[in-house]
Structure 1
Amino acid sequence: MEIRNLGGSGLRVSAVGIGCNNFGQRTDLETSRKVIHKAIDLGITLFDTADIYAGMGGSETVLGTVLGDRRKDVVLATKYAKPMATDGTKQGASR
Structure 2
Amino acid sequence: MGVLTYCLITADEGGDEFEMHGLVQLSTRRWLEASGQQETFRQQCIEQLAASFPTGRYENWATCRSLFAHVQVARSSPNVSMLPVI
TM-score normalized with structure 1 length: 0.26
TM-score normalized with structure 2 length: 0.28
The structure whose residues are more often helix, as a share, is 2
The structure whose residues are more often strand, as a share, is 1
| Structure with bigger RCO (C-alpha 8 Å, 6+ apart) | 1
